[in-house]
Amino acid sequence: MKKIGVLTSGGDSPGMNAAIRAVVRAGLYFDLEVVGVYKGYHGLIHDQIGPLTSAHVSNLVQRGGTILKSARSAEFKTPEGRKKAHENLKKHQIDALVTIGGDGTFTGADLLSKEFDFPVIGIPGTIDNDLYGTDYTIGYDTAVNTVVNAVDKIRDTAGSHDRLFIVEVMGRDAGFIALRSGIGAGAEKILVPEAPTNIEKILQKLEKDMRQEDKAGIIIVAEGDEYGGAMGISKIVKEHFPDYDTRVTILGHLQRGGAPSAFDRVLASGLGYQAVKGLMDGKKSVMVGSINRKIVFTPLKKAIKYHSSINKELLKIAEILGGG
């Protein structure tokens, strides 16, 4: 093995740049040439490939986003598109590929690896933290802290005006961000896709709070909640309590940006190094992750097929500490 490539694909997450930096510098340490593929699989198909040196990744570990950029690629989902991508890998004499991303990224990586017997290792980079085979994905910790910081500020105005704020966070299929940030921010209610939303219980609590003249509060809702996210919950609350001063805040893509936390920087650095080391050891079509602080390699197919389960005990803790 003489040359490896690295790309980022799918939604960006804080810490991706730290992972790129680790892949480049670990590769150089092992006397490998490293190239970057720009704009994910789209760039791999359209030959947007260039060298990466130590200087290219200097002063990078603290930056959010991805210097390699990211893009969706419908063409890569076709056999013809993947064939073009493989031809470009051969053209540049790239011997292996490191892909940083989530489900979609790994689905493409697994197909490329299997169809052309090409070594690919995935690094989990997604704020959703829903990938099987790792305790934490790169960007999750930063996203949670971003939400907590935002909710802390919202709570100030909620208390000043006796307002109920319904805050929507990312998570179409997974409530990891909502659950952990909700506990961290002291939310009165946390609604996630993995658990049924007991709307009657929420309304009963709001009625009780109203009687006690305690109208200020925070409800954290994952966007994939069964009632349609924050807007859906807000509509129901306003129908039952028209006198409640209810406001909606949708944090949206704010959660993907910003400087990565120290935790994400260290995680990304370690996984980037281990990905290169794994390639040197002959591993392919696997995702590198960390479970119980130990490095593990999970087949990409398994990482895609299964999803991490939400912590049921944390759900119970959130219910109790939120006041029932």
pLDDT average, residue stretch 237-250: 90
Has residue 114 got a pLDDT over 70? yes
The answer on 102 and 199 residing in a single domain is: no
What CATH number does the domain containing 224 carry?
Answer: 3.40.50.460
What CATH number does the domain containing 125 carry?
Answer: 3.40.50.450
The answer on 290 and 155 residing in a single domain is: no
Residue 155 lies in a domain: yes
CB atoms within 10 A of CB 238: 13
Q: How many domains does the chain have?
A: 2
Find all residues with CB under 8 Å of 271, minimum gap 6, and list them.
19, 22, 123, 124, 138, 288, 289, 290, 295
The answer on 81 and 42 residing in a single domain is: yes
The answer on 183 and 89 residing in a single domain is: no
- pLDDT tens, residue by residue, 67-84: 999 998 999 999 999 999
Query: Looking at the annotation, which residues are catalytic?
Result: 128
Q: Which pLDDT score, from 0 to 100, does residue 4 have? A: 98
Q: Which pLDDT score, from 0 to 100, does residue 324 have? A: 67
Out of 241, 256, 271, a domain closes at: 256
Has residue 59 got a pLDDT over 70? yes
CA distance 185 to 50: 43
The answer on 129 and 55 residing in a single domain is: yes
Chain-wide mean pLDDT for the chain? 94
- pLDDT tens, residue by residue, 203-230: 988 888 777 777 788 999 999 998 889 9
- pLDDT tens, residue by residue, 80-101: 999 999 999 999 999 999 999 9
Range of the domain at 166: 143-256
Q: Which pLDDT score, from 0 to 100, does residue 208 have? A: 84
The answer on 126 and 23 residing in a single domain is: yes
Q: Which residues of 13-51 are buried (b: 16+ CB within 10 A; e: fewer)?
A: bbbbbbbbbbbbbbbbeeebbbbbbbbbbbbbbbebbee
Q: pLDDT confidence of 323, banded at 50, 70, 90?
A: confident
The answer on 270 and 230 residing in a single domain is: no
Q: Which pLDDT score, from 0 to 100, does residue 166 have? A: 95
